[in-house]
Amino acid sequence: TLDAEEAAAGNVLLDGQELSYNDPDGWRFDAPNLVELTGGACQMIQSGDHEIQVTFPCGVVTIE
């Protein structure tokens, strides 16, 4: 699970390009275990094969 107050510390890459947190064309935190791509980023992943990389610093994510 992800601490909502620390979500902005995350890094989301789509095909090597960093997406901005809470950006209309980036990503947002929707639930303790859900990161959602939005706008243009969401449309892009629906168009074929793409690489998504999501990382968070230690202490932000809790493994249950």
Residue 63, pLDDT score: 77
What are residue 12's DSSP bridge partners? 19, 54
pLDDT for res 2: 82
Q: Compare 28 and 62 and report the one with higher pLDDT.
A: 28
Whether this prediction's pTM lies above 0.75 is answered by yes
Euclidean distance between CA atoms 8 and 35, whole angstroms: 11
Nearest to 37 by CA among 16, 22, 51: 22
How far is residue 4 from each of residues 15, 28, 34, 48, 56, measured CA to CA in Å? Answer: 25, 10, 11, 30, 12
CA distance 1 to 36: 14
